[in-house]
């Protein structure tokens, strides 16, 4: 039980980073050490729990495709009940909690129920997983920007934003989309992007990381053949051809001069 002389029911949402436990921020580690309760997700590396005090309550509330320890409404209610009973609740969420992590949603619910709230950013897998594989989301001569998109809507259909993304020249990072990879690649092919370099990075930043590269036309078959699974990020754009240890995929003719320039820049 928390010390009632300084008892303040509160929530701190902490980004756990992309997987490698050493990529937790110093502030994230300090806040974990102050927690009375840690509610942690499936994508938060379990090694991070060693930063918490031995007396801190540890509760798994992870959600993965096909499995939910708790529904989101139950997690929201648990945050409030644990904070009121024990004091400081740390919500440890993979990547950055404000990148498709519902972190602000949980903070708003907690605040509406009288809790003080705070946020500690984390390194997002949208950038770090690709980067760990040697794929920068921007690169001089190849990409002037990037966009991060969730693969599906709440109903399970492909996100409408994918259509607009497929028409652009920015690097596109797609999260939570491996189960719809073939559909996404078909959509991109229909927008004239069949020859665009693309990659899937599984378990980015971890020793078990795997990278498959190809083009929009070939990637789905290569990934299926390699048996890759979640968690994984999808990268679409010329920068995917820069992955470590991968033979460069076919590159559209209009991008070849840029690619040659990028490799010496």
Indicate which residues carry an active-site annotation. Answer: 41, 63
* Neighbouring-strand partners of residue 117: 11
Q: Tell me how far apart the alpha carbons of residues 218 and 209 are, in angstroms, rounded to a whole number.
A: 20
* Sequential DSSP letters for 133-170: TT--SSBTTTBS-EEEEESB-TTSSBPTHHHHHHTSSS
* Token pair listed for 160: 């409408």
User: Which one, of 43, 26, 8, lies nearest residue 205 by Cα?
Assistant: 43
Beta carbons within 8 Å of 83's beta carbon, 6+ residues apart = 9, 10, 11, 37, 89, 110, 115
101 backbone dihedrals φ, ψ, rounded to 5°: -115, 0
Q: Tell me how far apart the alpha carbons of residues 90 and 78 are, in angstroms, rounded to a whole number.
A: 12
Long-range contacts of 259-262 (CB under 8 A, 24+ apart): 259/141, 259/142, 261/141, 262/139, 262/140, 262/141, 262/142
Please, what is the end-to-end C-alpha distance for the chain in angstroms? Answer: 58
* Token pair listed for 49: 């729990």
* Neighbouring-strand partners of residue 119: 13
Q: How many residues does the chain have?
A: 265
Q: Tell me how far apart the alpha carbons of residues 181 and 40 are, in angstroms, rounded to a whole number.
A: 28
């Amino acid at each position: 039980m928390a010390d009632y002389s300084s008892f303040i029911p509160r929530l701190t949402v902490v980004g756990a980073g992309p997987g490698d436990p050493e990529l937790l921020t110093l502030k994230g580690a300090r806040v974990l050490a102050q927690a009375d309760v840690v509610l942690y997700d499936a994508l938060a590396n379990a090694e991070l729990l060693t930063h918490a005090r031995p007396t801190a309550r540890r509760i798994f509330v992870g959600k993965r495709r096909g499995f939910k320890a708790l529904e989101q409404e139950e997690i929201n209610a648990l945050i409030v009940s644990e904070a009121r009973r024990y004091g400081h609740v740390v919500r440890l969420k993979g990547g950055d909690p404000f990148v498709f992590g519902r972190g602000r949603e949980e903070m708003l619910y907690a605040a509406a129920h009288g809790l003080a709230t705070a946020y500690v950013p984390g390194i997002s897998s949208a950038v770090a997983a690709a980067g760990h594989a040697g794929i920068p989301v921007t690169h001089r001569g190849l990409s002037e920007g990037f966009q991060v998109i969730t693969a599906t809507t709440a109903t399970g259909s492909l996100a409408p934003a994918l259509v607009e993304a497929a028409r652009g020249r920015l690097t596109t990072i797609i999260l939570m989309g491996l189960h719809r990879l073939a559909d996404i690649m078909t959509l991109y092919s229909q927008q004239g992007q069949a020859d665009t370099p693309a990659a899937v990075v599984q378990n980015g930043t971890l020793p078990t990381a795997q990278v498959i590269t190809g083009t929009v036309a070939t990637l789905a078959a290569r990934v299926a053949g390699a048996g890759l699974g979640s968690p994984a990020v999808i990268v679409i754009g010329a920068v995917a051809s820069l992955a470590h240890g991968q033979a460069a995929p076919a590159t559209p003719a209009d991008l070849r001069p840029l690619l040659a320039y990028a490799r010496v820049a």
